[in-house]
Structure 1
Amino acid sequence: MVDRAFIAQLQGYGLTTAEIHYYRPDAPSLLQLFLWQEYDLAPDFPVLFDFLDHWRREIEAALHSVRIAHEQLIRPSEWRAIDGIISIQ
């Protein structure tokens, strides 16, 4: 059985981390933090925006800000030409 996360990475998904700051209705003066991670497609982030839409509809906490970090873990390797020959004996 192949891991779902590995298949997603092969399809171009990368690991997305969202730092969500919000206010709870019972403590509106306190800024709370929620950290969310999932595999998503940059730069559109459909999975993250679906989650944020769910948050706005279902959770009684007002969003303050969202910071996003994204890293594509599987990508083509880099190749550099180097002048010279190294002999191994």
Structure 2
Amino acid sequence: MVSADFIRQLEGYGLTTATILYRMPDHLNVLQTFVWQQYDVAPRFPVLQDFLAFWQRELDGPVHSVTVAHAGLIRPAEIRTVNGVLTLH
């Protein structure tokens, strides 16, 4: 059986990690970090956008900043020859 995550990767989703800095509701000068990770589609990131909309609607800690890293996990392999031997990189 093929996993749902693998099917999403075939549909163009890649692993997305967002580091969210947010302010503590009772101490606005204090920043906390929340790390979010999910499969999403770059560059629009609809899954992350939905999560951030939920955050603003439901949580008290205002978001200070969001840093996003994204990697498409399925990509063509690079093939080279080293001393006449094929290698994958």
Normalising TM by the smaller chain, what interval? Answer: 0.7 to 0.9
- How far off is 1:10 after superposition? 1.1
Q: How much identity, in percent, do the aligned residues show?
A: 56
Name the structure where strand makes up a greater proportion of residues.
2
Equivalent residue, structure 2, for 1:44: 44
Equivalent residue, structure 1, for 2:13: 13
Structure 1 runs of 4+ with >6 Å offset: none
* Partner SS for 1:55: helix
Q: Quote the Cα distance in structure 1 between the aligned partners of 2:45 and 2:36.
A: 13
- TM-score w.r.t. length of structure 1: 0.84
Q: Quote the Cα distance in structure 1 between the aligned partners of 2:84 and 2:71.
A: 35
Output the amino acid matched with 1:75.
Answer: R
Aligned in 2, Cα 1:85/1:3: closer, same or farther, shift over 3 Å? Answer: closer
Equivalent residue, structure 1, for 2:3: 3
1:46-65 equivalent positions in 2, closer than 5 A: 46-65=46-65
* Partner SS for 2:74: coil
Q: Number of paired residues?
A: 85
- How far off is 1:28 after superposition? 1.4
Q: Quote the Cα distance in structure 1 between the aligned partners of 2:11 and 2:22.
A: 32
Equivalent residue, structure 2, for 1:24: 24
Equivalent residue, structure 2, for 1:66: 66
Q: Does 1:75 align with 2:68?
A: no
Output the amino acid matched with 2:15.
Answer: L
CA RMSD of aligned residues (A): 1.8
- Structure exhibiting the larger radius of gyration computed from Cα positions: 1
- How far off is 1:6 after superposition? 1.0
